[in-house]
């Protein structure tokens, strides 16, 4: 029999994988991996504010990450700096501010390793509620904006000419990214959130022939990563968050065999 904490971890992990799969595909398609890192770095500031004012961590992280994402969109329109420079500026600035705030929170005790790398085995029923309700809302909004978001990913100018308002859709997508980071921070931590978004989607890209297939494979890859990672963590007593990401990496490496076989057949 599995303990209650492990069952809760599985339920939480499955919820995250179902949401991270579709969003991760857009991260790959739009080349936004560094953007995910920026939001995850800003999440540290959200956590420190939550601890300072005794508010829900997921809610605080969501608002801070959303604010950083919207500031990025604003700076892209009002400055001549390239996108990677803006991402680096916001990522390291928000991380530095978060660390400064932490230095003043000596009266509060918290697990810094759990914050950085996650501790899915410590999720509570309230965390599961946030993950699943938040996940359903994220997928619902993503379904609504799917067509214009995909169109702007393929050709921004054409989507704009068709009246799809890609600027508004991009803003909504950045908020969805902030939301997935907020609900998954306790599972994989600040440093590994982007890996949960990117690695299953990258694996799916190696195996798929069309966008819908890629989304399906990405979700399956995320689910397998969570299940294999958690059971490996239980068996080897390894950290849960890194074990999940390591399992995703193994799946990605296995997916490369298809590319190698296809290349040999082509030659």
When comparing pLDDT for 228 and 54, which is higher? 228
CATH number of the domain where residue 92 is located: 1.10.3470.10
Span 187-216, average pLDDT: 87
Q: Judge whether 54 lies within some domain.
A: yes
The pLDDT, as a whole number, for residue 265 is: 47
Averaged pLDDT, 75-101: 81
pLDDT for 137-189, tens place per residue?
999 999 999 999 999 988 888 888 888 888 889 889 989 988 888 888 777 77
What does the pLDDT average to over 79-98?
81
Q: How confident is the model at residue 240 (pLDDT cuts 50, 70, 90)?
A: confident
Any domain includes 254? no
Closest residue by Cα to residue 142 from 25, 226, 224, 63? 25
> Are 180 and 19 spatial neighbours (Cβ–Cβ below 8 Å)?
yes
Residue 58 lies in a domain: yes
Domain contains 150: yes
The answer to the question of residue 227 being in a domain is no
d(CA 85, CA 93): 12
Count of structural domains, the chain:
1
Q: Are 189 and 118 in contact (CB under 8 A)?
A: yes
CA distances from 62 to 18, 49, 177, 241, 262 (A): 19, 12, 9, 20, 42
Residue 223 lies in a domain: no
Please report whether residue 261 resides in a domain: no
Q: Round the average pLDDT of the chain to a whole number and report it.
A: 84
Does 170 map to a domain? yes
Q: How many CA atoms lie within 13 A of 259 on its CB side?
A: 12
The range of the structural domain enclosing residue 47 comes to 4-190
Strand, helix or coil for residue 48: helix
Q: Closest Cα partner for 231 from 135, 138, 121, 152?
A: 121
Please give the pLDDT value at position 241. 83
Q: How confident is the model at residue 209 (pLDDT cuts 50, 70, 90)?
A: confident
């Amino acid at each position: 029999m599995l303990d209650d904490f492990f069952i809760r971890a599985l339920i939480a992990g499955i919820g995250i994988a179902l949401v991270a799969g579709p969003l991760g595909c857009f991260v790959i398609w739009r080349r936004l991996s560094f953007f995910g890192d920026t939001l995850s770095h800003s999440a540290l500031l959200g956590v420190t504010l939550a601890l300072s004012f005794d508010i829900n961590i997921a809610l605080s992280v969501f608002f801070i990450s959303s604010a950083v994402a919207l500031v990025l969109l604003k700076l892209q329109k009002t400055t001549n700096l390239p996108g990677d420079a803006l991402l680096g500026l916001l990522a390291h600035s928000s991380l530095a501010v978060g660390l400064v705030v932490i230095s003043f929170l000596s009266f509060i005790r918290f697990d810094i390793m759990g914050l950085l790398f996650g501790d899915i085995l410590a999720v509570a029923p309230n965390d599961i509620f946030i993950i699943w309700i938040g996940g359903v809302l994220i997928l619902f909004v993503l379904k609504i904006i799917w067509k214009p978001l995909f169109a702007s990913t393929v050709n921004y100018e054409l989507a704009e000419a068709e009246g799809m308002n890609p600027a508004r859709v991009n803003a909504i997508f950045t908020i969805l990214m902030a939301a997935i980071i907020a609900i998954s921070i306790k599972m994989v931590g600040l440093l590994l959130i982007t890996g949960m978004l990117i690695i299953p989607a990258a694996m799916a890209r190696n195996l798929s022939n069309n966008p819908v297939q890629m989304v399906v494979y990405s979700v399956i890859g995320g689910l397998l990563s969570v299940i294999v990672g958690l059971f490996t963590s239980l068996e080897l007593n390894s950290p849960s968050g890194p074990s999940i990401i390591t399992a995703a990496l193994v799946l990605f490496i296995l997916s490369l065999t298809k590319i190698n076989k296809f290349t040999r057949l082509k030659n």
